Structure 1
Amino acid sequence: MAATQKMKIFKLCMLAGVALISSVGAAAQAVTPVQTILGDAPSIPKNIVIMIGDGMGPAYTSAYRYYKDNPDTQEIEQTVFDRLLVGTSSTYPARVSGYVTDSAASATALATGTKTYNGAISVDTNKQPIPTIMEKAKALGLSTGVAVTSQINHATPAAFLSHNESRSNYDELAQSYLKTDADVMLGGGQKYFPVGLIEKFEAKGYQYLSDFNLLDSVKQGKVIGLFADVQLPWAIDDSDSNKLSKMTTKALELLSQNNNGFVLLVEGSLIDWAGHNNDIVAAMGEMEEFANAIEVVEQYIRKNNDTLMVVTADHNTGGLSIGANGEYSWDTAIIRGVQASPDFIANDALADGDWLARVTLNLGFEPNEDEISQLSRARMQGKEVMITSIKQLIDSRSNTGWTTGGHTGVDVQVFATGPAASLFAGYQDNTDIATKLISLLPKVKSQPNK
């Protein structure tokens, strides 16, 4: 056979192979497993819910699976993250900031589709404002809202609602929220919203809440709820530990009253804060509540199949390692047995009385003699040293590892369900997520809500 004929046959085989792979890939992406429960859903969503697990790198969702596993069964049960996984996302910022992003640059990418420098709140590298998905949605007649466990003017919600050259300008960001016309703003941050500013919100028709117990009383209209001085309590320490779930439920209830649709941001903010602290106990508590909030939205979508939910992380925090020290083990029973955050345990240990008995009760296991000596020395050096000692003890017993107190540059996961969920399958950049979400907004302004 001539060489030219062989080459032609080779090329035809290659083309056929590519066509087969493409068709299989298209078929695989046509319907995600979760979409099958939605019935005859529209192809374009009316409502969009964006959920961000701040700092929730891939190790966090794996750790949460094992944390929730029932040790009495052979099967390792799936979590909501396993059920909704569709793809991955890169998170790097603009070149000027290298490969490892902060929350501001990543949230800007997710809100606008544009890369920027670390610290920027929806401004480009020249510090010029970039329109956000919330602003575009509001201009098209949709309602908008945020529900977060940090202060509402923290980096992630701020990048969706406002613009500033620095995430650290908390007071300026709080003032700027008057201009956003967002319908629902729930979280912490009383420190940044003085009485005079709250009065201006009320003059614009907002209901102001500082008592979480009054959230149920709000039935319609705009609301700003600030339920802590800065961040909300750690979920593991909170007697009302489902605050994010309840804020999400209320936000969906209020925003869905707009017949034109809505865009809602929900952030599990304190996953990141636990990661910065290298605190596996607080991290799993925050993951639990974020998972609960995702399931709230998932249930909403089952009843409202015109709603898209996209869940991701802005970056990875802490370099969490499931297993450490050369040992092939990770003891979730130790972590599940801890009854409070290391912060709470340390505070309690500094009080008068039998501190060791209280520490033992909160830890859920009895420290050995060497561990007691370490804790005793730490207690004499104050709260921060005591917190560190307790975290190190839990890490040692559970074989949990950390590589940093900051962020890392690994890709994060993407989860989705609802109309157009298949758009988010496979690898993408965080700017691609924003571009796709913005493309799903209405093309023309809707008539006023009735």
Structure 2
Amino acid sequence: MGATQKMTIFKLCILAGAALVGTMSVAAQAMTPAQTMLGDAPSVPKNIVIMIGDGMGPAYTSAYRYYKDNPDTQEIEQTVFDRLLVGTSSTYPARVSGYVTDSAAAATALATGVKSYNGAISVDINKQTIPTIMEKAKALGLATGVAVTSQINHATPAAFLSHNESRSNYDALAKSYLTTDTDVMLGGGKKYFPVSLIEKFQAKGYQYLSDFNQLDSIKQGKVIGLFANVQLPWAIDDNDKNKLSKMTAKALELLSQHDKGFVLLIEGSLIDWAGHNNDIVTAMGEMEEFANAIEVVEQYIRNNDNTLMLVTADHNTGGLSIGANGEYSWNTSIIRGVQASPDFIANDALIHDDWLARVSLNLGFEPNEDEASQLARARMQGKEVMTTSIKHLIDSRSNTGWTTGGHTGVDVQVFATGPAASLFAGYQDNTDIANKLISLLPKAKSKSQSNK
């Protein structure tokens, strides 16, 4: 066979492969959650909702599936994450920080499309500011908002709204929010917003809320709501376990009043914090409320088919293992039976003489003699040691494993529904997610168009 024939055959193979890929791509797009749910939805969204499960690596969504499973049925029921899964994303930061990202670098990538160093708040490796999707949206006349369970000036929301060389500069970040013109800011963080700063927000037309019960009273306009000194309470310990869902619903209600559309960031911030604590019970409580918030947005999209929802994690936290110690089992009944966070259970045990009975009641099981002795020794050493002992007991009984109290470098999942959801199918980098979202913003009008 001559060289010309070989080249002809090679080209034919390339063309055939491209045709096959094209056919598969069309078929895959036909099955996207966006088209399944919405039918003839617009191809480009008017509104974008970005939802980040902080620290929510793949093991968390799998664990949540089994945590929610009905043990009385043969099937393992799907969750909202199973329903909306479209792809995966790598999360590594700029080369200077290696392969394992922190929340600041990851949020910078998701907000700007640019890699930076760990700790960076939407500045590049030379500490120069990078425009964020929120800033671009504002410049185009869209409304913007954030609703989070951490303080609103924590790494993730800060990277979408502001710029700083260090995520730790909380006071400076709080002050910087005055100039962002963000329409809705809901979460924790009273500690960083003194009265003098709040008065400046009010002078700019913001309504200030310090009590969560005030949220229903807001019907329109700009709002800053700070509902805790730092982070909101753990969902499992909160009398109102649906704070993120309610903040999500209110943000959608307020931002929907803007004719040009909006970009909204929702973060289940405390999934990460529970992961850092290696606390499976609290993590599942936070996953539950994040899933509830996703379903709030899903319902909104059913009624507003011009809205895209993109859900992902910024990184994985804790190295959660479903099963451990060489045993092929994971006992979700133990986790489901716990009635409060280990933090709460430990604190309660320290202030009551009948502590073991109260611990047993909160755990949903009675510790055996060896376990009770370990708890008694831990109790004598204070709350932190007692909390750790309770977490270890739950892990041992449920066969839950952890590899670290920090982050890991594994890829995370991507979930999407609404117009252009198919853009996020398959593998991508976190910067790709940002660039795709930014590409979906309205195009700026030229001067000649503006003058018409």
Alignment of 1:78-157 (within 5 A): 78-157=78-157
In the alignment, which residue of structure 2 is the partner of 1:322? 322
CA deviations 1:221-253 (Å, max 9, x no partner) are 000000000000000000000000000000000
Aligned partners of 2:154 and 2:321: how far apart in 1? 27
Shift of 1:145: 0.3
Aligned partners of 1:7 and 1:150: how far apart in 2? 59
CA deviations 1:256-303 (Å, max 9, x no partner) are 000110000000000000000000000000000000000000000000
CA deviations 1:309-348 (Å, max 9, x no partner) are 0000000000000000000000000000000000000000
Aligned partners of 1:7 and 1:120: how far apart in 2? 50
Aligned partners of 1:346 and 1:17: how far apart in 2? 61
17-26 or 399-408: which moved more?
17-26
Q: Is the 8 A contact 1:280 1:395 kept in 2?
A: yes
In the alignment, which residue of structure 1 is the partner of 2:71? 71
Using a 3 Å threshold, how does the CA distance of structure 1 residues 142 and 10 change in structure 2: closer, same or farther?
A: closer
CA deviations 1:172-228 (Å, max 9, x no partner) are 000000000000000000000000000000000000001000100000000000000
Using a 3 Å threshold, how does the CA distance of structure 1 residues 445 and 338 change in structure 2: closer, same or farther?
A: farther
Matched, 1:208 2:177: no
Shift of 1:16: 1.9
* TM-score, normalization by structure 2: 0.96
Shift of 1:37: 2.1
Secondary structure of 2:415's aligned partner: strand
In the alignment, which residue of structure 2 is the partner of 1:187? 187
Secondary structure of 1:330's aligned partner: coil
Aligned partners of 1:14 and 1:284: how far apart in 2? 47
In the alignment, which residue of structure 1 is the partner of 2:409? 409
In the alignment, which residue of structure 1 is the partner of 2:422? 422
Shift of 1:14: 5.6
Shift of 1:36: 2.1
Shift of 1:157: 0.1
Shift of 1:430: 0.3
- Amino acid across the alignment from 2:85: L
Give the paired residue count: 448
Aligned partners of 1:17 and 1:345: how far apart in 2? 60
Shift of 1:35: 2.3
Shift of 1:6: 7.1
In the alignment, which residue of structure 2 is the partner of 1:57? 57
Shift of 1:41: 1.2
Matched, 1:385 2:385: yes
Secondary structure of 1:164's aligned partner: coil
In the alignment, which residue of structure 1 is the partner of 2:310? 310
- Amino acid across the alignment from 1:228: A
- Amino acid across the alignment from 2:200: K
Shift of 1:65: 0.2
Secondary structure of 1:146's aligned partner: strand
- Amino acid across the alignment from 2:107: A
In the alignment, which residue of structure 2 is the partner of 1:287? 287
Aligned partners of 1:31 and 1:9: how far apart in 2? 33
CA deviations 1:23-70 (Å, max 9, x no partner) are 213331355034222132111100000000000000000000000000
In the alignment, which residue of structure 2 is the partner of 1:42? 42
RMSD: 1.7
Aligned partners of 1:4 and 1:197: how far apart in 2? 74
- Amino acid across the alignment from 1:292: N
Alignment of 1:338-417 (within 5 A): 338-417=338-417
Using a 3 Å threshold, how does the CA distance of structure 1 residues 445 and 371 change in structure 2: closer, same or farther?
A: farther
Shift of 1:7: 7.3
Secondary structure of 2:27's aligned partner: helix
User: Which aligned segments of 4 or more residues in structure 1 are displaced greater than 3 angstroms?
Assistant: 1-15, 445-448
Percent identity, aligned pairs only? 88
Using a 3 Å threshold, how does the CA distance of structure 1 residues 445 and 144 change in structure 2: closer, same or farther?
A: farther
Shift of 1:353: 2.2
Q: Is the 8 A contact 1:87 1:427 kept in 2?
A: yes
In the alignment, which residue of structure 2 is the partner of 1:237? 237
Ranges in structure 2 where 5+ consecutive residues have no aligned partner? none
* TM-score, normalization by structure 1: 0.97
Ranges in structure 1 where 5+ consecutive residues have no aligned partner? none
Aligned partners of 1:10 and 1:405: how far apart in 2? 51
Q: Is the 8 A contact 1:31 1:422 kept in 2?
A: no
Aligned partners of 1:222 and 1:421: how far apart in 2? 29
Shift of 1:3: 8.8
- Amino acid across the alignment from 1:230: V
Q: Is the 8 A contact 2:111 2:159 kept in 1?
A: yes
